[in-house]
Amino acid sequence: MSDAEFLLLGDALWLDFVNTQGAPGRAEALADPQAYLRWTKALRLEAPETAVAFAEALRFRDQLTRLAQALEAGRTPPAGAIEAINTRLAARPGAERLVRVGGAWRVRYAPDRAPTAVEAIARSAAETLATPVAVVRSCANPACGLFLLDETSNQSRRWCSGTRCGKLGRTERRRRTRLTPIVNET
């Protein structure tokens, strides 16, 4: 899914949220509460009710960014990020928790209402952790830096988008591997 104002290329709601941060060559996408409201509407999420929700969302995004960085580096998810996810999941009427069962993450859930934006984001992060074949990585384009979710069977996804960064990467790879003509020196 893509939107003119927001880059929605992470293939997981929580990564699209993390990717709203400013990165090299990109401005902060959620610069104010109105931008956050537009982002939630673009993703058809429950709109935040107060300006406090915006500040809370940005703090949550920082924790999720640390989670994405840890997963990309192959490290254990930070305890603070797991706690933040569980706090948001527990805020929703019904019981939903991210728990470790037999060495794998599991999500237990029984909703009573539609999730708020941060609850939906927390659910997305929990689902990623609970999916053993999901790999979080950064786009292979060094100028991009967007996080993406690779759920391919051979873990081969490298680009945030085949048309946005993949085309540039393939063009550069062809340019580097093109054979140079042999010049006869006689």
Residue 106 has pLDDT above 60, yes or no: yes
Q: Which of 97-101, 131-135, 175-179 has the lowest mean pLDDT?
A: 175-179
Where helices occur in the chain by DSSP H, the ranges are 13-18, 33-42, 51-72, 79-91, 117-129, 167-177
Q: What is the pTM of this model?
A: 0.75
Please give the structure tokens belonging to residue 52.
């406090």
Cα 10 → chain centroid: 5
Confidence of residue 28 (pLDDT cuts 50, 70, 90): confident
- CA-nearest of 119, 121, 97, 139 to 18 is 121
Residue 7: which residues within 8 A CB-CB, separation 6 or more?
Answer: 16, 19, 26, 29, 146, 160
Go through 136-152 and write b for each residue having 16 or more CB atoms within 10 A of its CB, e for each that does not: bbbbebeebbbbbbeee
Query: 141 and 159 in contact (C-beta within 8 Å)?
Result: yes
Residue 1 has pLDDT above 50, yes or no: no
What backbone torsions phi and psi does residue 86 show, to the nearest 5 degrees?
A: -65, -35
